[in-house]
Structure 1
Amino acid sequence: MDDKRNLIAAILLSVAILLGWNFVSEKFFPTPAKPDVTKTVAGAPGATPAAPQGQPASAPPSGTPAVAAPVAKTTTLPVEAALATGNRVPIETPSLAGSINLVGARIDDITLTKYRQTIEKNAPPVRLFAPGNSKAAYFASVGWSAQGIEVPGPTTLWTASGTKLTPATPVTLSWSNATGQTFRVEYSIDDKYLITAKQTIANAGSAPVAASSFALIDRLGKPTDPHEKDSWTIHVGPTGYLDGKSVFDVDYKNLDEGGAFKYNSAAWLGFTDKYWLAAVIPAKDERVTASITAPAADNYQTLFARDFKQVAPGTQVSTTSRIFAGAKEVSILSHYQDQQGITRLSNAIDWGWFEFFEVPIFKLLDWLFRQIGNFGVAIMLLTVIIRGLMFPIAQRQFHSMAQMRLVQPKMKALQERHKDDKPKMQQELMKLYKDEKINPLAGCLPIVIQIPIFYALYKVLMLTIEMRHQPFALWIRDLSAPDPLHFLNLFGLLPFTPPSLLALGPLALLLGITMFLQFRLNPQATDPVQQQVFKIMPWMFMFIMAPFAAGLLLYWITNNCLSIAQQQWMYRKFPQLRAAPVK
């Protein structure tokens, strides 16, 4: 029994660590203030971002264009004021709205028209990109480095052919220098989130030119929403598929400490938030080098560049870069990965080690949601399916519990007889299990299996945008957020928000009650320590789970109710479970 008690204690400790870490980290570690979500959800106020000057003094050996010192700091503006300045070409698709800034040829104005910043009816759309002279600068840019000639830079004013960028109407920007070189960027866009930039340098001069093209994402500041912080379960920050692997080990803190990360190959790289991604993508299997750097304080940049090539007089060289700017929808990322050849773009969602298990859970839940139309009901049906699949295991658990109940008198006799000789007691217990054909671990198997299922659902609810802002019923308007009602402030009648530790709502209370009833139906443990643990656990979990997503609590409450029904049925099949052990 000591081994079983230690096993139960280890399982309880593992569950407590798994579920309690996010709460502890948010409660006791400092977090920055929340951003003004009416302006942007992607950046933060700060200095004007640095940008490549576009004309490095010499060609770096790796082919990566040099990034010059930051431009002089200018007055930062609200996003709306920054958008009112400069010449712009509108962008309009079923999924995106925004504009291209003709100064610098930057894509620095992107809003996601399908998503709102809050669940309120008239909430503004989510803003991803913002101009470089705004308080939340975040943009994509393409350009060139060259030797001995002038190339376009961040202050270059381009000429546009085309009045609007749509899936049916591309736009071409052009600019020429004084030595006969013409630079063109042909922008096209699909109906989702992928922008293609075809970069061309045409040499009409009298001498060959060595030039290199690049693409970058530049971001000022980092997310300040506590729910957008990098954590051990969800990566937020620089990412990409670099040097043949997905990069999740570089964060803003590394860059703030002066880190600069160089890579010899790149399939894509950029910045990921919890639900959004901005990334630059070279052509498939194209040879590029890449870097993740912080060119200035609170300014972060991901960049890939091609090797320098000779452009002979009378010829031109074209390269193609792509820019992803949008929501991390699982189906769209998979489509770009499979149909556009963007290697492991689906890894922009930080599934973690259990991707093989989490993705099927997501696909089943998403399919149920699309069939029913209510995400809460889909979670409940998913719980029923999981319990159905686990029914044979649960039946085996109850059978094992019934056998253990019958042999308890013999076990107690052995423990009394050999209480001074632990090795002998264990040996006799093992012999008793073998003679009675009992597996002492069978009762723990459903608990062990539930842990990865629960963790997979937790990741699905926390990571996938398909679950964001989905309502259930009554007061539950967003299953990806915690229960909005709290007993301590009388369900919002008192003008304050309770701390997470005390933010108990109806769902958390239901969780505690159903777990208490479930444990009451279990045969009482003979060990006093186990008895105390099972008495405290329901109420401990009630407090631990209160700050978690309402959808997660709905899953657990449904699971508890099904367990109670299953236990009642099993008691009728194994009546000896209720009977007192014979002495």
Structure 2
Amino acid sequence: MNDNRNMLLAIVLSALVLIGWSLLSDTFFPTAGPQTQQVENGKVKAVPQPQADPTADSPRAIRRREVVLAESPRVAIETPSLKGSINLTGARFDDLVLVRERETIAADSPPVRLLSPAGAPLAYFAQFGWSGEAVATPDANSVWTPSASTLSPGKPVTLSWTNPTGQRFELIVSVDEDYLFSVRQRVVNLGSGAIGVRSFGLVSRAQKSADPSSWTHHIGPISFLGSKADYEVDWDALDENKAGVTRDSRGGWLGFTDKYWLTALVPTEGAPVEASFRKSNSGAYQADYASAPFVVAPGQAVSSEAQLFAGAMEKRLLDRYEDAGITKLSKAIDWGWFEWFMRPIFDLLNWLFSVIGNFGVAIIALTFIVRLILFPIADKQFRSMAGMRRVQPKMKAIQERYKDDKARLQQEMLKLYKDEKINPAAGCLPILLQIPIFYALYKVLMVAVEMRHQPFALWIKDLSAPDPMTPINLFGLLDFTPPGFLAIGILPILLGVTMWMQFKLNPAQLDPVQQQIFSWMPWILMFVMAPFAAGLQLYWVVSNILTIGQQKWLYYRYDHEMNPPGEPAVVRK
């Protein structure tokens, strides 16, 4: 009867872990992001996502992007990393694709589109301008005059617009070889009286990111204002607060992030600005800033500097721009609690990738390095566990003898630990110390755009996506895609098997309920880890294999060390 009750309790607890994790993981832990494209017959097709024009007071029909782009004059953008154009109507950065990044792993996949014009699907754009009183300033319908037809590294373009009273507004735009635009906003007053204006910058996107945000990975409105990174403002906060969120700052930056991409406005460093996030009446989300008012006397010119980052959140680039003066731009990556530890792991992983040339092999090499660093901790852990294995028959005998006397049972167990010089808690501390290490590695592998679409070997063509090879559909022979956590790939299965082998090497739990739960946990984790990125699954599988080898060797070593001559050797399970 007691055994049946324990078995029932183990089943209930295991079910709670499995079902509870499925319900909570999307909220608290980022898994591989959902696909925004689908592949049919080898061709990539975008998933339809109709929406409203973010700059209109009322929704209107969405038109094809090619049609919208052809409706206004443009300056082409051509760099090694970016391609697109600046809309001369409104001087908007509203057409931008990331040349080095692809939508899917398909050979004919188009590059990732970051910015798109108003009136087209997934409208998303940036704009710089001025506001003022008693002076005509350029607006969304103003047509600017360019100094050249193409913007490229080392070849800036000046956009100019003059109002009827003689004030000329200029945007002198330059771009580097990566993802940073520099914009010099210049006002030349050729009129007869002084004018007062404020410069501003804005980023507007019609929809929330398709990437899910979670407790450990912020996606959405993001900023570094007032010497502080802000991950608290999210889509829901803007939905609920019609007035928006406003911050006063000196410099800093603000914008929107997806899982891998960032569009951020960078006002003049050290200059006072009023920055805000808001949701417009049309449903679009907007990040903007405005400078302090300034006066331009007749015959004078005043200018201010601003920058726009629009691209992939590659750590090396964020660090480089940060060193060049953009305060804490690397905080756009939601590092989490262990930032101080994650950064060197990130740098080590990228270095290994640059040397080896295969991200999967780099993950394996990183796993070896981590296990090597943790070896002294594991050594202490397995020495304690070997001691527990050695005295396990004595522990069971004591438990059987005093099973009806809990107080005496505890006394005898403590006496046994003292006589045998064993600390049962010694094996727990190393495990606790490894938790931040695993969490840091988990975050690195989940947020690294460097891992996106990186192949490993055989069927694993994208380490940032779940393992696609599953026996549920006979490894792709059956024409259907298993739903949700049922799509268990080869790597999650290997994870479950290796974890089961690892637990089998550990001392058996005296409590039958705990032992039952431990025996089922590997298979539960197999389901839990199925939706995660293959890169993380690969790390865990390799780590388990190394741990198994390490356990066997250390147990062999300490079993012989702890068994005096003449005593029987410890029998392995």
TM-score normalised per structure 1: 0.87
Question: What pairs with 1:381-420 in structure 2 (closer than 5 Å)?
Answer: 381-408=365-392, 411=395
Q: Deviations over 1:433-459 (max 9, x none)?
A: 345432212222343233323222221
Structure 2 residue 334 is matched with structure 1 residue 350: yes
2:54 corresponds in structure 1 to 49
1:579 equivalent among 567, 570, 573: 570
CA 1:245–1:13 in 2, change beyond 3 Å: closer, same or farther?
farther
**Residue identity opposite 1:370 in structure 2:** S
Q: Deviations over 1:354-401 (max 9, x none)?
A: 111222221111111111111111111111111112222222222212
Give the secondary-structure state (helix, strand or coil) at the position aligned to 1:488.
helix
Give the secondary-structure state (helix, strand or coil) at the position aligned to 2:471.
coil
1:302 corresponds in structure 2 to 287
Structure 2 residue 316 is matched with structure 1 residue 325: no
Contact 1:87 1:101 in 2 (8 A): yes
Structure 2 residue 494 is matched with structure 1 residue 510: yes
| Aligned-pair CA distance for 1:409 | 5.4
Q: Deviations over 1:454-486 (max 9, x none)?
A: 222221121110011111110000111101112
| Aligned-pair CA distance for 1:416 | 6.2
Q: Matched residues in 2 for 1:526 and 1:420: separation?
A: 15
Q: Matched residues in 1 for 2:453 and 2:495: separation?
A: 22
Q: Matched residues in 2 for 1:13 and 1:337: separation?
A: 47
Give the secondary-structure state (helix, strand or coil) at the position aligned to 1:448.
helix
| Aligned-pair CA distance for 1:541 | 1.2
1:202 equivalent among 166, 178, 188: 188
1:569 corresponds in structure 2 to 553
Q: Matched residues in 2 for 1:510 and 1:542: separation?
A: 8
Structure 2 residue 548 is matched with structure 1 residue 557: no
Structure 2 residue 358 is matched with structure 1 residue 374: yes
Question: What pairs with 1:485-504 in structure 2 (closer than 5 Å)?
Answer: 485-504=469-488
Contact 1:35 1:44 in 2 (8 A): no
| Aligned-pair CA distance for 1:431 | 5.3
1:478 corresponds in structure 2 to 462
Unaligned runs of 5+ in 1: 1-11, 51-69
2:9 corresponds in structure 1 to none
| Aligned-pair CA distance for 1:307 | 1.1
Contact 2:26 2:214 in 1 (8 A): no
Structure 2 residue 68 is matched with structure 1 residue 82: yes
Contact 2:92 2:126 in 1 (8 A): yes
CA 1:478–1:418 in 2, change beyond 3 Å: closer, same or farther?
same
Give the secondary-structure state (helix, strand or coil) at the position aligned to 2:290.
strand
2:528 equivalent among 521, 541, 544: 544
| Aligned-pair CA distance for 1:152 | 0.4
Contact 2:358 2:456 in 1 (8 A): yes
1:287 equivalent among 267, 272, 281: 272
Question: What pairs with 1:135-154 in structure 2 (closer than 5 Å)?
Answer: 135-154=121-140
Q: Deviations over 1:259-311 (max 9, x none)?
A: 41000115000000000000110111111110000122420100011111111
CA 1:33–1:255 in 2, change beyond 3 Å: closer, same or farther?
farther
Contact 2:18 2:524 in 1 (8 A): no
1:58 corresponds in structure 2 to none
Question: What pairs with 1:68-467 in structure 2 (closer than 5 Å)?
Answer: 70-71=56-57, 73-224=59-210, 228-259=211-242, 260-265=244-249, 266-339=251-324, 341-408=325-392, 411=395, 426=410, 429-430=413-414, 432-467=416-451
**Residue identity opposite 2:272 in structure 1:** R
| Aligned-pair CA distance for 1:321 | 1.1
Q: Matched residues in 2 for 1:424 and 1:135: separation?
A: 73
CA 1:208–1:427 in 2, change beyond 3 Å: closer, same or farther?
farther
CA 1:372–1:394 in 2, change beyond 3 Å: closer, same or farther?
same
1:6 corresponds in structure 2 to none
Give the secondary-structure state (helix, strand or coil) at the position aligned to 2:424.
coil
The number of aligned residues is 546
| Aligned-pair CA distance for 1:100 | 0.7
Give the secondary-structure state (helix, strand or coil) at the position aligned to 1:383.
helix
Q: Matched residues in 2 for 1:14 and 1:389: separation?
A: 35
Q: Matched residues in 2 for 1:419 and 1:138: separation?
A: 69
Give the secondary-structure state (helix, strand or coil) at the position aligned to 1:140.
strand
Q: Deviations over 1:298-332 (max 9, x none)?
A: 20100011111111111111111110000000000
**Residue identity opposite 1:346 in structure 2:** S
CA 1:288–1:431 in 2, change beyond 3 Å: closer, same or farther?
farther
**Residue identity opposite 1:384 in structure 2:** F
Q: Matched residues in 1 for 2:293 and 2:451: separation?
A: 45
Give the secondary-structure state (helix, strand or coil) at the position aligned to 2:150.
coil
Q: Matched residues in 2 for 1:20 and 1:290: separation?
A: 38
More displaced 10-residue stretch of structure 1: 74-83 or 484-493: 74-83
Give the secondary-structure state (helix, strand or coil) at the position aligned to 1:366.
helix
TM-score normalised per structure 2: 0.88
Q: Matched residues in 2 for 1:508 and 1:26: separation?
A: 20
| Aligned-pair CA distance for 1:16 | 7.6
Contact 2:28 2:215 in 1 (8 A): no
Contact 1:45 1:221 in 2 (8 A): no
Q: Matched residues in 2 for 1:137 and 1:250: separation?
A: 21
CA 1:423–1:242 in 2, change beyond 3 Å: closer, same or farther?
farther
More displaced 10-residue stretch of structure 1: 92-101 or 379-388: 379-388
Contact 1:212 1:307 in 2 (8 A): yes
More displaced 10-residue stretch of structure 1: 528-537 or 111-120: 528-537
Unaligned runs of 5+ in 2: 1-13
